[in-house]
Amino acid sequence: MIQSIREQNSLLVLSEIINQYTISRAKISENTGLNKATVSEIVKQLITDHYVIETGAGTSTPSGGRKPIMLTLNHQAGVAVSFDIRYNRLSYLVTYLNGEKIERHSREIEVNKHTVIPLISEVYKALHERYSDLPFSIIGVTASIHGIVDQNHILLTPYFDLDEIELAEKLQEHLQIPVFIENEANLAALAELSFNPYRSHLISFSAHTGIGAGIILDQQLYKGFKGRAGEVGHTVLYPEGKLCACGNHGCFEQYCSVTAFVNRMHTLKKDHTLSLDSIAALYRNDDSQTQQFLNQYSKEVAIGLTNLIGLYDPQIVYLNSEIFELFPDSLEQIDQYIQQTIYKDVSVLPSQLGSDASLYGGAVLCLKNYFKVETFAFPQSTA
Ligand SMILES: [Zn+2]
């Protein structure tokens, strides 16, 4: 937590510097309404406290005035650490304070309520040693959860038992640092926003083991009453359809998750050894059954997306799944379907960050909490 910045004005100035990337004192004064002397005094303190650095002269004023000194976030003053926790894999990402990647690792390992704390603690200990010389060291840790999360508390993890422990609390005890936990699709949405802050309404749609969507309204993550906003996996695609683990029939997830995609191809081809990669190979070799299936799959995803678009009215929808990476035609088919609806002005695009989106979102959550700012924009080139 920031100890030395108590006043609202300091936060206002810092928020301007973070979200404009580089800015002069005069421009901060203009944007915030604070007078120049106040801005100068605050900036002086921010520089002393390692939050901000000067980056040399900017462009001169239209009237030919002196070139102002530009200010920017001292992004190498600390690091954010985020983990992505899946039942069979633990990944982590370390970034500077501007979202720039320093290191990312992934390990195939069974994660459950007994192993998760020792696994994360071991990684954290090594990272803490590596980054303890930086002025702010590690500013926080975020864990991305494939399940429903409400107010730093896991409500449901359908594919493993993490919902049986108070993960954030226990980690905080072990690591002695602020720990944030959040749903993976919500984090992916935060990351998409930070890398494209000019879109104030967006949806990030993920299809992995399950299906989920993160929703940004007016630049803020919309979570609903109990963290379930965007939990579209159990909305119904076919009322008389397949039985789902949730007890209902015909859930979206039963047709369009990666697991469902592979299982459907197993049934279609009567071959239970097919992997996503081998299905992609069939597709590239113009296998007509696979092509027909992909068309049907894209249409089903598009129906689910159309419902989401109708509910939340985003400017843009980012799609995040190995399926869209391996079958780029699917993106085109989905877009074509949406073009035939009244939502044709909504852009449907592949994720800007791919499989690392929720990890970058974890960094955003650490940063927003550490700097106490409402939005945190990353320079476009850092990912
Ligand atoms: Zn269901």
Rounded distance from Cα 131 to ligand 1 centre (Å) = 43
188 CB-near residues (< 8 Å, 6+ apart): 204, 206, 214, 318, 320, 351, 353, 357, 358, 361
DSSP string, 76-106: GGEEEEEEEEETTEEEEEEEETTS-EEEEEE
**Sequence-separated (6 or more) residues with CB below 8 Å from residue 207:** 256, 257, 258, 261, 301, 319, 320, 321, 323, 324
Q: What is the pTM of this model?
A: 0.92
CA 263 – ligand 1 centroid, Å: 16
Instruction: Report how far ligand 1's centroid is from the alpha carbon of 159 (Å).
Output: 13
Tell me how far the alpha carbon of residue 350 lies from the centroid of ligand 1, in angstroms: 25
Q: Helix crossing, 288-312 with 276-284: angle to 10°?
A: 110
Centre of ligand 1 from the C-alpha of residue 256, in Å: 12
CA of 250 to the centre of ligand 1 (A): 7
Measure 242 CA to ligand 1 centroid, in angstroms. Answer: 9
Express as a percent the part of the chain with pLDDT over 90: 85
Residue 275, number of CB atoms within 10 A of its CB? 10
Of the ranges 61-70, 73-82, 158-167, which is most confident? 73-82
The answer on pLDDT for 135 being more than 70 is yes
70 CA from centroid of ligand 1 (Å): 53
Ligand 1 mean position to 247 CA, how many Å? Answer: 6
Highest mean pLDDT among 145-154, 230-239, 290-299: 290-299
CA-nearest of 20, 33, 36 to 71 is 20
pLDDT band per the 50, 70, 90 thresholds, residue 58: low
**Secondary element (H or E) of residue 138:** strand 137-145
* DSSP conformation letters of 142-195: EEEESSEEETTEEEE-TTSSGGGS-HHHHHHHHH-S-EEEEEHHHHHHHHHHHH
8 pLDDT tier (thresholds 50, 70, 90): confident
The H-or-E segment that residue 23 falls in is strand 22-24
Residue with tokens 């894209």: 298
pLDDT, one tens digit per residue, over 251-274 is 999 999 999 999 999 999 999 999
User: pLDDT value at position 230?
Assistant: 92
Q: What is the pLDDT of residue 67?
A: 80
Alpha helices in 313-354 (DSSP H): 322-326, 328-339
Ion ligand 1 contact residues with beta carbon within 5 A? 234, 244, 246, 248, 251
Distance (angstroms) between ligand 1 centre and the Cα of 251 equals: 5
List, in sequence order, every residue forming a beta bridge with 138; answer none if it has no partner. Answer: 79
Strands 202-207 vs 316-320: parallel, antiparallel or unpaired: parallel
User: What percent of the chain stands above pLDDT 70?
Assistant: 96
Residue 199 banded pLDDT, cuts 50, 70, 90: confident
Assess whether pLDDT exceeds 80 at residue 363: yes
Using the mean position of ligand 1's atoms as its centre, give its distance from the Cα of residue 257 in Å.
12
Please list the residues that pair with 85 across neighbouring strands: 90, 145
Determine how many CB atoms are found less than 10 A away from the CB of residue 253. Answer: 25
Ligand 1 center from residue 212 Cα (angstroms): 12
Distance 203 CA to ligand 1 centre (A): 21
**What is the structure's pLDDT at 1?**
47
Question: Ligand 1 centroid to 168 CA: how many Å?
Answer: 27
Expressed in angstroms and rounded, the spacing between residue 196 Cα and the centre of ligand 1 is: 32
Residue 5: pLDDT band (50, 70, 90) is very low
Taking the C-alpha atoms of residue 382 and residue 379, their distance in angstroms, rounded to an integer, is 6
- pLDDT for 56 equals 77
Q: Decide: 88 and 75 in contact? Cβ < 8 Å.
A: no
Res 112: pLDDT: 95
pLDDT computed for residue 381 by the predictor = 59
Average pLDDT for residues 67-71, to the nearest whole number? 89
Does the pLDDT value for residue 4 go beyond 90?
no
> What are the pLDDT digits (tens) for 324-361?
999 999 999 999 999 999 999 999 999 999 999 999 99
Q: What b-and-e string marks burial along 308-327, b requiring 16 or more CB atoms within 10 Å of the CB?
A: bbeebebebbbbbbbbbbbb
Quote the ligand 1 centre to 153 CA distance (angstroms): 22
Query: What is the per-residue pLDDT for 382?
Result: 58
As a whole number, the mean pLDDT across the chain is 93
